[in-house]
Amino acid sequence: MNKTIARNSLLMLLGQTLGRLLRAGIIIYAARVLGAGNWGALENALSISAFFVIFADLGINSLLIRESNKKPEEQKTYLATSLLIKITLVAVLALLMNLFAGKLSHLPGAVALMPIVALVFIFDSLRDLGTALSRAIEKMEIEAAANVITNLFIVVLGFVALRHFGTNQSFAIAYAIGAGLGAVAVFIPLRGYFQKIWKHVDKRLIKSIIFSAWPFGLVSLLGIVMINTDVMILGLMSTAEQVGFYSAAQKPIQFIYIIPSLLSAAFLPSLSRLAGKEEKISHFRDRIEQGVKATLFVAIPATIGGAILAKPIMLLLYGPAYLSGTTSFFILCLTFIAVFPSALIVNAAFAAGSQKEFVIYSFLGIFGNIVLDILLIPAFGIAGAALATLLNQVFVNAYVWRKMKQMTRFTILPHLQKIIPAGLLMGITCYAGLQSGLPVLINIAFSGGVYLGILWLFKENLFKKFTELELE
């Protein structure tokens, strides 16, 4: 292999970043046009859809990546069997989503949108399988292009819908059409892999795939639960307006969450090849340490800067009408420190075939978030929902960190001796800019430049090491 982790990361980061930036633009526009109530109903429905996407996966996508790298000769067999399982799951779950719409949300506006959102769920689930295949064959350019195309369709169609109709139903229809066209976009360049695909189905593998994948699927479910359970429970316990305020605070956080997920996905093929080989255990440990360091390189300044600039960021994105979400945004920024490294660690566990060790982590996270939401939302409203997510992230990710240290004896603090002080100095700069009235975008750019400049002065070697990590 002559491709590097840096290339894979860059391609996925570019595709996801461009795609998410496009979608962020239409989301902010939609929130402003629809108002907090209608926007909250739509976000509640879309959160339910995102929640179901993980159930339609059950870890199958990640298993396809792992097994394709470990057993290239069986790639088509795993692809065909995974496709059969996924289509079956998607059909069943789409039906359940519509049958129990009234139980999943108490917001009439969200329930009315559920048939349309079910289409989004179907298209997103199938596109995810195509994305997994592109990662398995290490053609991240396909994923990058598909992400940009999908979001471009959503932006164009969504803008037309909002401009001419201005309703959440019209926007949901545009969103579904864009998601469908995006699914087509990812499958077209991969069509050769799907020719006569059904003859490669191995029914004997179905049980094996499900039993091997479900622990990782459960672990993956945690991330979606953390992001979407708050909105779902707010939809059951609060008003559409409160859901709208919280969703507005949550959207920039979700955008930043793509960074650790992309870094961990880029490391997965390499970790899969190194895992389980005694002669390469030191390389496996080094790969984990470099990956965690790379995630914290972004998480530390994002946490500090986001918390300091919470109010001006909300004001810039949504205007005064959504300032009620500022406290939630501030609290959610604090989750970066816990979320970023854990995404890499969980993928390392899956690569090593130790995903069952983390099943308790998933149960703690899923039920912990629900319990904390139920306890804190009545007392603190949407700030309570954010606090529930923060507390849960800290507790469950402390567990996953401890388990991986027991497995590999990796260390990370010695690798942060330059990043932590650089982050603190960046925070001081950012706060000074806020107090002096510096415009928020200029403040972000200047503070970010200070952070990178300090690391350059400290001769931080992260970038050099990261680009030298060859996929073996």
Name the residue among 449, 332, 447 with its Cα closest to residue 383. Answer: 332
pLDDT tens track for 38-91: 989 998 888 888 777 767 776 777 777 777 667 777 777 888 888 888 888 888
Q: Which residue has the tokens 């195509």?
A: 130
pLDDT tens track for 265-314: 667 666 766 665 655 567 777 778 888 888 899 999 999 999 999 999 99
Q: Which residue has the tokens 């919280």?
A: 246
User: What's the predicted TM-score (pTM) here?
Assistant: 0.74
Residue 8 has a pLDDT of: 57
In sequence order, the β-bridge partners of residue 470 are 4
For the record, the structure tokens of 432 come out as 């000074």
Buried b (16+ CB within 10 A) or exposed e, 288-301: bbbbbbbbbbbbbb
Which ranges in 188-335 belong to alpha helices (H)?
Answer: 191-194, 203-237, 240-274, 281-308, 310-318, 326-333
Cα→Cα distances 241→119, 220, 329, 381, Å: 25, 29, 16, 12
pLDDT tens track for 424-462: 999 999 999 999 999 999 999 999 999 999 999 988 776
Residue 257 has a pLDDT of: 84
The helix (run of H) or strand (run of E) holding residue 79 is helix 75-99
